[in-house]
Amino acid sequence: MTKLRLIMTTTNQQVNIEKLASLCKRRGFIFQSSELYGGINGFWDYGPLGVELKRNIKDAWWQDVVQRRDDVVGLDSSIIMHPRIWEASGHLEGFSDPMVDCKTCKGRFRADQLDTSTCPQKPSKKVGECGGELTEPREFNLMFQTFVGPVRDDSSVAYLRPETAQGIFAQFDNVLSVSRQKVPFGIAQIGKAFRNEINPRNYIFRSREFEQMELEFFIKPGTDKEWHEQWVKERMDWYTRIGIAAENLSQYVYGDDELAHYASACVDIMYAFPFGVQELEGVAARGNFDLSRHSEFSGKKLEYFDPETNERFIPHVVEPSAGVDRIALAVLCEAYRIEWVPKEGSGGTLRLAEPDTKPPEGYEERTVLRFAPRVAPIKAAIFPLLKNRPELVEVAQRLYTDLKQTWPVFYDQTGAIGRRYRRQDEAGTPFGITVDFQTLEDQTVTWRDRDTMTQERVSLDEVAALLGDALK
């Protein structure tokens, strides 16, 4: 069969966040948290497909950053830690945003984002242009406070961590002693973090509860520039491996006047979201600031002894820090397409749909998520051609049972086969496998590719190997 080729530019101009959010709810990717009770701003729940997408993103990061390297080990530190950790890190003193209140609409906004914040009462105007009276800016600490134990007093105050990195620094000495690693080496962690954002916005991009994937890579002083450049390159390459086009990625290089006082370099990896180019990940050369501060506040030496040079030093660190939820949103935006599909026999070419336009003669419309197979929530869907033919159902269910031992696959026997294909296109499933009457004759099935819509016959015995090769 002739392979259909999609004619398009790399940058996806079709993505509308409202339409994407509607698809994500309809197909079970993302729900508003506490929706049953009216929702709660800044918090999101991930449904059956969404949790698989996030897990695949985290697995891909862990495989490439930890499992496939000899110089990185893992850690899972607790969400609540000793309050002195946040004193040492500077979060208690300096982790804040400037905030203003509007006396007219009672809204609360970040003072440094007024030019991009919309007035709740006059959506056509920005805050500050609507005539509302604003208060003077004041600092607002972003950490969530809680209490440990039965008594709520100053001695029991604790905080939900605003980042995962500090748990790594606090456990540096323990991990070093048990892992038999030598500098340079890294400690990686994936986990929840919490920030009491003044103005959560842009769907799941900026929320109050989120997940981070952070690596602290400890290095010898004087090698900061070399290692920083290497990690920037490796992290840029990683995004293309999970399906994000290089043309939609960019780097923001911090100027000397923008760097934290302890940093020698910082690069933000940016993605072209529908609402603007925004940060996915920061890669910073942080010097020895964090270990030095924790050594000072704890009174314990956090040094490394180099057995080759017989010298002791506090390691410097390069920190790649990525947001799982932001990456999930970027992957969704990158994958989202509305296409015009040529009807059978029309001889047309698969095309991107034109906005607010009906398909031309000989075409029909489909919505598809073109996930890279590595991060797709469902890897393949198995269909019997007809649900009322037991001999087809038996073969399809046996194939499904075999494949699901290794991969997340889906079984569907309800509705016309074309409609079942469309449902899986919207879920982003890369491959469809149909058991039909020819299967009973020669033990072959129809293998359908989501992106090209090509169909070919493959042997039942070859399905597992083909799927495995496609998912590498």
In three-state secondary structure terms, 135 is: coil
CA distances (Å), 386 to each of 307, 383, 393, 415, 441, in order?
A: 69, 8, 8, 9, 16
Q: CA-CA distance, 239 to 234, in Å (whole number)?
A: 9
Residue 201: per-residue pLDDT: 86
Low pLDDT (below 70) residues in the chain? 1-13, 94-97
Residue 280: per-residue pLDDT: 97
Residue 418: per-residue pLDDT: 93
Q: CA-CA distance, 333 to 370, in Å (whole number)?
A: 10
Residue 5: per-residue pLDDT: 37
Residue 12: per-residue pLDDT: 58
Domains and CATH numbers, the chain: 17-77+165-333 (3.30.930.10), 378-470 (3.40.50.800)
Residue 330 makes CB contacts below 8 A (sequence gap 6+) with 244, 271, 273, 280
Residue 254 makes CB contacts below 8 A (sequence gap 6+) with 263, 265, 266, 267, 268
Residue 136: per-residue pLDDT: 79
